Amino acid sequence: MSQYTIKKYEESDYALWNDFVNQAKNATFLFHRDFMEYHKDRFEDFSLLIFEEEKLKAILPANKQGNSIHSHQGLTYGGLVYREQTKLKSVISIFRNLLFFLDENNFDKLFLKTLPSIYHLKPSEEILYALFLAEAKLIRRDSLSVIDLQQEKTISKIRKRGIKKAISNELIIKEENQFELFWSKILIPNLEKTHHAKPVHSIEEIHILKSFFPENIHQFNIYKDDEIVGGTTVFETQNVAHCQYISKNPDKEDLGSLDYLFHYLIEERFSQKRFFDFGISNENQGKNLNEGLTYWKESFGASTIVHDFYEVDTVNYTKLEDILI
């Protein structure tokens, strides 16, 4: 094919991998090996490093499942990661070699989730063009509710009423270093009751991640008379404050707790960020939309960007040949 060589990640690559993540234009702390490996017992890691001659040019956080390779299924987002200097022609060539490598190693398909554009440090959608050329199939699309914090924000009257109600109820917001109270009193009971589900992260796991990334993971609780009534867990990256979990006590609906909490986060705590990401309101692989949840987010002034997931046949590396004119 070309001068590219590809190898599977090994523990000896730890420093090299993390250094590359820190220099990439389309990566966040979720791609750091300390984040990826907190749940390594659940996934068969198949992360890849792509070299040109002896220089690392790209990485792919990934895991193996049968005859397929997935953008790591333990991460919210993913994709091919590369440096600022990497040009479109090089990304196409890297992706062609990646598909060839997987095909040669008897993998039939690559499932690639993208990194939403708000997380790019600089425009980084070269991989989307390469996926188009490879005739990748769009198999899932989630909708993220996002506020551009550099633009004027429009908050609805109903949210303003909720904020005033919270103030009159003398609610208190606290940023905490511990997660037990929110997990045990609010998050776990709500997920079990509403979705018969559990948080993606156990309480032990979120504490481990907080210890590794103390500047990136935050817990905000809101209290009425010293009783927790709601909260959110925020993952902070260079450009974005992202709400990983949002939940409140359903028996305290009339307090205005989340309206007050998110007004504080948007207008004060994370006001210097470029984007505030409420996350998705989708279920069923993006095919269903929680109308009420989306409305609540949009009433803070959020609007929609999409997060795409693709499936590509590895034999389609041939479709990336002879495309330059």
Mean pLDDT (the chain) is: 96
C-beta separation of 279 from 242 below 8 A: yes
3-state secondary structure (DSSP) of residue 104: helix
Instruction: Give dist(CA 118, CA 234) in Å, integer.
Output: 16
pLDDT digits (tens, 9 = 90+) for 10-46: 999 999 999 999 999 999 999 999 999 998 889 999 9
Task: Please count the other Cβ atoms lying within 10 Å of the Cβ belonging to residue 39.
Answer: 18
- C-alpha closest to that of 112 among 88, 142, 138, 74: 138
Asked whether this chain's domains 4-142+307-320 and 151-273 adopt the same fold, the reply is yes
Q: Where are the domains of the chain?
A: 4-142+307-320, 151-273
Pairwise CA distance, residues 17 & 12, whole Å: 9
- Res. 160 pLDDT band, cuts 50 70 90: very high
Give the percent of the chain with pLDDT over 70: 99
Closest to 320 (Cα-Cα) out of 113, 4, 98: 98
Question: What is the topology classification, in CATH, of domain 4-142+307-320?
Answer: Aminopeptidase (3.40.630)
d(CA 110, CA 296): 36
Q: Does domain 151-273 have CATH number 3.40.630.30?
A: yes
pLDDT band at residue 79 using 50, 70 and 90 as cut-offs = very high
